[in-house]
């Protein structure tokens, strides 16, 4: 196959692996009262739902914080409906290396790498034998590895916890930048403050 044809083929496959994010299955379920997610098989590929989470804890619920029992109900829903959690590496292998994916693949993506992932999510993953993708902020992991500050409200995971979760095979680590997540007064995550132009000097 010519390289341009090969490229077009990859592009086509990439386009077919359309992903979308839902904050929480249960929220969407209650709004629409329908099955919240569906991995759709198409002629050349599949649609893989990506469900995004941040914190899982019992306080400060709302927006990007859900309770452990609500997260467990998501896992139950996925299990009862024969979904299979996959990692980004598996998705990349499917797109580029012709590796197979399990039936009904879904990605559970956790942003930021909060301690609540280790304390409230990891155990449930072991119980349900399901995988998540955890995108950690290098600087936060460095900082919370140096001082013992285990506050469920704001703490992030340590390198020891990262290692333990990664070695379990249930948590895939991904990159959420080293220190660009929060730059005071300029931007927070992907949100840039209004009327500010950043000039990067390299």
Binding site for Zn ion (CB under 5 A): 111-112, 189
CB of 20 to Zn ion, least distance (A): 18
Q: Which is nearer to Zn ion, 129 or 177 (CB)?
A: 177
Neighbours of 169 (CB within 10 A): 11
CB of 114 to Zn ion, least distance (A): 10
DSSP string, the chain: --HHHHHHHHHHHHHHS-EEEES-HHHHHHHH-S-----EE-SS-EEEEEEEE-EESSSS-BTTEE-HHHHHHHHHHHHHTT-EE--HHHHHHHHHH-----SSEEEEEEEETBHHIIIIIHHHHHHHT--EEEEE-HHHHHHHHHS----TTT-B--HHHHHHHHHHTSEEEEE--SS-SEETTTEETTEEPTT-------
CB of 135 to Zn ion, least distance (A): 7
Nearest-CB residue for Zn ion: 111
CB of 181 to Zn ion, least distance (A): 5
CB of 156 to Zn ion, least distance (A): 11
Q: Which is nearer to Zn ion, 69 or 177 (CB)?
A: 177
Q: Which is nearer to Zn ion, 96 or 188 (CB)?
A: 188
Q: Which is nearer to Zn ion, 138 or 189 (CB)?
A: 189
Q: Which is nearer to Zn ion, 95 or 180 (CB)?
A: 180
């Amino acid at each position: 196959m010519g390289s341009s044809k090969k490229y077009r083929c990859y592009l086509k496959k990439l386009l077919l692996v359309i992903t979308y994010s839902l904050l929480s299955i249960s929220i969407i379920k209650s709004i629409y009262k329908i099955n919240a997610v569906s991995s759709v098989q198409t002629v050349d590929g599949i649609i893989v739902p990506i469900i995004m989470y941040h914190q899982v804890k019992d306080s400060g619920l709302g927006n990007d914080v859900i309770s452990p029992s609500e997260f467990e109900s998501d896992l139950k829903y996925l299990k009862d409906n024969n979904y299979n959690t996959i990692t980004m590496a598996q998705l990349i292998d499917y797109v580029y290396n012709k590796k197979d994916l399990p039936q009904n693949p879904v990605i559970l993506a956790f942003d930021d790498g909060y301690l609540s992932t280790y304390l409230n999510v990891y155990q449930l993953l072991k119980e349900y034998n399901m995988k998540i993708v955890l995108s950690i902020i290098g600087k936060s992991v460095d900082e919370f590895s140096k001082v013992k500050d285990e506050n469920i409200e704001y703490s992030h995971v340590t390198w020891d916890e990262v290692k333990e979760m990664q070695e379990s095979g249930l948590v895939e680590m991904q990159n959420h930048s080293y220190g660009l997540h929060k730059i005071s007064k300029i931007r927070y995550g992907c949100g840039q403050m209004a009327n500010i132009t950043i000039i990067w000097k390299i």
